[in-house]
Amino acid sequence: PAVPEKAVRFSFTVMSISLLMEDGEEEEEGEKEKKKESVIIFQEPKPNSEMSCKPLCLMFVDESDHETLTAVLGPVAAERSAMKRSRLILSIGGLPRFFSFQFRGSGYDEKMVRDVEGLEASGSMYVCTLCDSTRAEASRNMVLHSVTRSHEENLERYETWRTNPFSESADELRDRVKGVSAKPFLETQPTLDALHCDIGNATEFYKIFQDEIGEVFLKTNPGREERR
């Protein structure tokens, strides 16, 4: 088969290392509780540098090719999930030290987010990767919205899409799952790279630029006609 013209580089960076310190005991409602504070002992100053990003794999694949992407990144996602549920024990200075891992995915564009979270492609009626807005809803309200989607919810919606427990029609089922059509296999963090949010930001910045270019700030309470 022809080699895809796109490549996906999947790498990791140690962003920070922190210690969980126990700070004495407090008496609360007849019970003793230990206060725990986190102290950061290392923080990567240049997380996007090639010196700190360690590549896990480099693949020639279009991110819209869900089957190939799943096959390549599936083991990575499984390993990451296993590390999140376990603890690493190392002997340091003759004492056992316990380490737990927290992962935060970043650097995904909208197309990649849609693929790894099981969402329909960018031409979908559900335009936003952060909320459940349709194109019509987004056009009426391009500024005010909140982050409502989550990885766990996408997994639940995929099971609903796969099993159709209420025996609904295709349109009713699609409306229920809000654009989820494949199994999510990699958790991502909400970012600004979502169409609905981009439209809202562009609208607000456009207003600001217009006011700056027109030097509206020089006038006291300008009317609508003056702004235009």
DSSP category for residue 119: B
Domain interval for residue 4: 1-24+33-103
Average pLDDT on 58-73 reads 82
pLDDT for position 65:
80
- Give the pLDDT confidence of 95-141 residue by residue, as tens digits: 898 889 988 877 788 888 888 899 998 788 888 888 888 888 877 77
Query: Which class for 149: exposed (0-12), middle (13-18), buried (19 or more C-beta within 10 A)?
Result: buried
- Give the pLDDT confidence of 141-185 residue by residue, as tens digits: 766 667 888 899 999 999 999 999 999 999 999 999 999 999 998
Question: Of 47, 68, 103, which residue sits at a domain end?
Answer: 103
| Number of domains into which the chain is organized | 2
Whether residue 114 is found in the same domain as residue 225: yes
Q: Which residue type is seen at 124? A: S
- Give the pLDDT confidence of 13-54 residue by residue, as tens digits: 899 989 887 665 555 555 555 667 888 989 999 887 888 888
Whether residue 88 is found in the same domain as residue 113: no
Whether residue 113 is found in the same domain as residue 204: yes
Question: Of 103, 133, 161, which residue sits at a domain end?
Answer: 103
- Give the pLDDT confidence of 183-212 residue by residue, as tens digits: 998 888 776 655 666 666 666 777 777 777
| Residue 1 confidence (pLDDT) above 70 | no
Q: What would you report as the CA-atom Rg of the chain, rounded to the nearest whole angstrom?
A: 24
In angstroms, the Cα distances linking 94 to 22, 87, 88, 226 are 20, 18, 16, 75
Pairing of β 8-12 and β 54-59: antiparallel
Whether residue 6 is found in the same domain as residue 68: yes
Question: Of 103, 134, 160, which residue sits at a domain end?
Answer: 103
Whether residue 166 is found in the same domain as residue 81: no
